[in-house]
Structure 1
Amino acid sequence: MKEYNVDLCVIGAGSAGLTATWVASNLGRSVVLFEGEEMGGDCLNHGCVPSKAILKAGKVAQSMRSGAKFGINPVEPEVDWSAVKAHVKDVIESIAPVDSVERFEGFGATVITEHAHFVDANTVESKTARVKAKRFIVAVGSRASAPPIPGLDTVDYITNETVFSLPEFPKHLLVIGSGPIGLEMGQTFKRLGAEVTIIDIAKPLGRNEPEHAEVLVKALEDEGITFHAPANTKEIRKTDTGVEIELEDGTVIQGSHLLVAAGRAPSVNGLGLEAAGIEYDRGGIHTDDNLRTSNKKVYAAGDVVKGRGGLTHAAGFHAKQITTGFYFIPPLPFLNKKLSKATTNVMPGVIYTEPELANIGLTEAQAIEKYGAEKVKSVHFEFDENDRAIAERSTAGGVKIVATKKGVILGGSVVGMQAGEILHMLSVAMSNGVKISGLAGIISPYPTRSEAVKRAAGSWYTETLFGENAKAKKLSALWTKFH
């Protein structure tokens, strides 16, 4: 067994692990990186990258059906499932070199492609290596979890890790879960030619602005997706042709394939966390606001952190904050705790359906609960009043901004075409302390969809400037007497 004594040991080569390794290696620190499965983690191999590749295939198929409103005769596309899978595989392979062993070894890191675990508070081992380090980062991510539904363990089901390599295309895809994965894959497989039914114990998108969630759900229903949500599942059974789900109300739904997209569980098993004195539970590893665990030499990042994971860009942010604390801040406890803090109210999220649904910060309901209704105000602008959206015949949705009565932005939501891109404006504003007045004062190129952000912010002042009793009206009348 080869022994190492290094500055940093990282377990997991997903977004967080690779980011931390890149920073430390390029600063001349000695780093050992362990990855027992695939470099790039879930995002590259089973999540963000393949899902966006297959989403594009679905969008192309749908565009062929949707030409009539533009004067183009619609046609029903012929979908070659093998070619779609080849497209997804090619996209992954095109990006994979960026996350490869060779690239990170080129930065100076030692990459060991084996599973690793703690053997004590200061040591990590794999099959062939033993590593002691000044600091450790656990960034092993999460896996798809299966809800405790009677009969689920008796049927063959697919997850985000297997859906992109199905041997045969589903005739009728049943989806358990109406979160981002369930909705994205549900819409995509419907567009590629499958019947799709989505089942969830809860109402879809319950944590989003309800009026924006309604826009997305209606769009999916209009495309032919059937929802049973909220609904309680009584039992799942295997059939001669696939699977069937019986609901508590007696409804029986039959399908050819079952996709379980009902959440993810942190990959905490097999890490030897007990041996290292690291506190954790089923929800993940416990950390403080700086992502430090109960073992002061060990930090955690990404999905494995309890209550802070779930997004690839969140994992990257975690790695940035951790390495900032390690290498860019003087070792002054009060300063380090402040500048390397990983708690943030500006973490954006996007569901990449069509229309997209993007959000950041607090919803209006959350803001009212936190600050009180008398201190919160929301403004919105709909895409059916946006000239670019009208020209492109894609007017569903709009922009909503939530702020304090003093104009401090607390959150925002966008639903519609390119919502994720438009959300950047709210992310920049919130990250840099720009208030409503700052958004209202920008000059937007015309015609653009993102102009809706400026128009929403501008509506903050409509009553003040143009209302029946607006002071601005009276002042304007007074000024006109003098010039």
Structure 2
Amino acid sequence: MPKALRCDVCVIGAGSAGLSVAAGAAMLGARTILFERGEMGGDCLNYGCVPSKSLLAAAHAARNIRQAARFGIHGSDVRIDFSAVVAHVRQVIAAIAPHDSVERFESLGVRVIKAPARFAGPGEIEGGGVRVRTKRIVIATGSTAAVPNIPGIDTVPYLTNESVFSLNARPDHLLIIGGGPIGVEMAQAFRRLGSSVTIFQRRRLLPKDEPEFVELLRAELAAEGIAIHEEVEIASVASTSNGIAIGLGGQPEPIIGSHLLVAAGRRPRLAGLDLQTGGVLHTEKGVVVDAQLRTSNKRVYALGDVIGGPLFTHAASYQAGIVIRNALFRLPAKADYRALPWVTYTDPELAHVGLAEAQARELLGDRVRVTRADFTDNDRAQAEREISGGIKIITNQKGTILGATILGSQAGELIQLWALAISRKLKLSALTALILPYPTRGEISKSAASAFYAPKLFRPWPKRLVRLLLWLS
């Protein structure tokens, strides 16, 4: 018989979502048990955000060396030691891992059980030789790579985010199925590290982002030598003597590469949880929750990738706060994603928050106003020779900020101001009054805000008013 335990909060999954809830609950005095079947830190630390950004940093360093001559700096040719690049990625993971370790969470008062967990009843969890009776249950099992239903794909070796960072040798030609953030980030990283790269995307590249900025980013990727096939159907995948062949519908010759990376979306990790036993409603898209992140079993909450979206680490951290407030303080907190930003960490970065133009026009029609500014007019961007892209702001006719998109160096840092503005329902006038340091890339935000008011300020009547006031003085 399994050993019987009791606690206040039982968390299943030690990724970003689960760790945030477990730490918060324990630090607030709740008896907390955490189950994890795999690596502490989950996908973000081991297979996602941390290794991907570490690889991108190495690729960016290679690009800087290649382009140093534009500043009058001349060095030797770039030599990529791929094994050393992989070692760098692993070192970064190792440096961060203690923050997510069993030891740290046990020091916070969390009992960690390294084993799979399943529902043994509406308020009971079983795993690792124990049966836990608890007041609150939190499901945070995350997601895994979705593999598309393509003829032959199950007959070839393929990589996902869980295996691509374990490569010991650089791919000669990397084929990537999927043109979302993961696909394009890995495409640019491996291209800059010396691989040939081909992307296959069923729809357009980065379909959730502003099309005009995606077009600019697409041109940047193509200029680096990345082959991009958009709006294509993959008819077949097969092994050949030369590697892996992808056949496209309507094209007689397949495209052959040495390695295949599948980056075609995510699916929730639900297997083995016995959710029916717990009375937890779910679909193939994930666990069904309400705005308070409660499931059909009111003692059970779910958050992170397992609920089907939004699939971001920072969204999971935000959701953890919602769960803590509801589960422990019994406050009616609801998730609100109106000011949720996201970033594709290519070079240039593509960052977004709020409504895109098309979404805004569906809601407001001709009351939508669009304001832009380009990095070509930003002095810091010119000094650093990083002038690609710009900013696009969506407002209503009164200047209330509804959405923002930035394409450019450090766009992920610059979008944070706009996330705050949207969360506080600010107007562009709040930004025009800011005093910003010069020269900074952040000045582009004030430039865009000022551009909204320029047509009103420089109409004929303000000029007549100024002349009258000058005459009266």
Question: Which bin holds the TM-score, normalised by the shorter protein?
Answer: over 0.9
Query: Contact 1:402–1:409 at 8 Å: present in 2 too?
Result: yes
- Residues 1:408 and 2:400 aligned together: yes
Q: 1:365 to 1:75 in 2, by over 3 A?
A: farther
Distance in structure 2 (CA, Å) of the matches to 1:107 and 1:235: 51
Partner of 2:472, secondary structure, is coil
How many pairs does the alignment contain?
471
Query: Contact 2:180–2:207 at 8 Å: present in 1 too?
Result: no
- Residues 1:389 and 2:391 aligned together: no
Query: Contact 2:113–2:128 at 8 Å: present in 1 too?
Result: no
- Residues 1:314 and 2:307 aligned together: no
Which residue number in structure 2 is paired with residue 56 of structure 1? 57
Shift of 1:76: 3.0
CA offsets 1:426-470 (integer angstroms, 9 cap, x no match): 012112222111012111110000110010011110100013x3x
More deviation, 86-95/210-219: 210-219
Distance in structure 2 (CA, Å) of the matches to 1:324 and 1:433: 23
CA offsets 1:19-58 (integer angstroms, 9 cap, x no match): 1111111111100000010000100000000001110110
Shift of 1:268: 1.2
Which residue number in structure 2 is paired with residue 450 of structure 1? 442
Query: Contact 1:65–1:75 at 8 Å: present in 2 too?
Result: no
Distance in structure 1 (CA, Å) of the matches to 2:190 and 2:392: 30
Distance in structure 1 (CA, Å) of the matches to 2:12 and 2:165: 26
Query: Contact 2:339–2:420 at 8 Å: present in 1 too?
Result: no
What's the TM-score once normalised by structure 2's chain length? 0.98
- Residues 1:477 and 2:452 aligned together: no
CA offsets 1:143-190 (integer angstroms, 9 cap, x no match): 001011111111000011111111321000000111111101100000
For 1:295-334, what aligned pairs fall within 5 Å after superposition? 295-306=297-308, 308-328=309-329, 331=330
Distance in structure 2 (CA, Å) of the matches to 1:76 and 1:323: 53
CA offsets 1:175-228 (integer angstroms, 9 cap, x no match): 011111110110000000000000111110222111111111111101000101
Moved over 3 A (4+): none
Shift of 1:396: 0.6
Partner of 1:207, secondary structure, is coil
CA RMSD in angstroms comes to 1.1
Counterpart pick for 2:412 among 399, 402, 420? 420
Partner of 1:234, secondary structure, is strand
Counterpart pick for 1:361 among 332, 336, 354? 354
Which residue number in structure 1 is paired with residue 337 of structure 2? 344
Which residue number in structure 1 is paired with residue 72 of structure 2? 71
Q: 1:74 to 1:183 in 2, by over 3 A?
A: farther
Shift of 1:472: 1.9
Distance in structure 1 (CA, Å) of the matches to 2:416 and 2:77: 35
Q: 1:74 to 1:396 in 2, by over 3 A?
A: farther
For 1:124-203, what aligned pairs fall within 5 Å after superposition? 124-203=125-204
Which residue number in structure 2 is paired with residue 83 of structure 1? 84
Query: Contact 2:35–2:114 at 8 Å: present in 1 too?
Result: yes
Identity, in percent, stands at 47
Distance in structure 2 (CA, Å) of the matches to 1:431 and 1:74: 47
Match for 1:51: what amino acid?
Answer: S
Match for 2:178: what amino acid?
Answer: G
Match for 2:438: what amino acid?
Answer: Y
Which residue number in structure 2 is paired with residue 291 of structure 1? 293
The runs of 5 or more residues in structure 1 that have no matched partner are: none
Shift of 1:351: 0.4
Shift of 1:241: 2.4
Distance in structure 1 (CA, Å) of the matches to 2:233 and 2:468: 65
Distance in structure 1 (CA, Å) of the matches to 2:268 and 2:42: 13
Distance in structure 2 (CA, Å) of the matches to 1:220 and 1:194: 14
Distance in structure 2 (CA, Å) of the matches to 1:349 and 1:474: 45
Partner of 1:82, secondary structure, is helix
Distance in structure 2 (CA, Å) of the matches to 1:205 and 1:86: 30
The runs of 5 or more residues in structure 2 that have no matched partner are: none
Match for 1:113: what amino acid?
Answer: K
Shift of 1:478: 1.7
Distance in structure 2 (CA, Å) of the matches to 1:56 and 1:423: 20
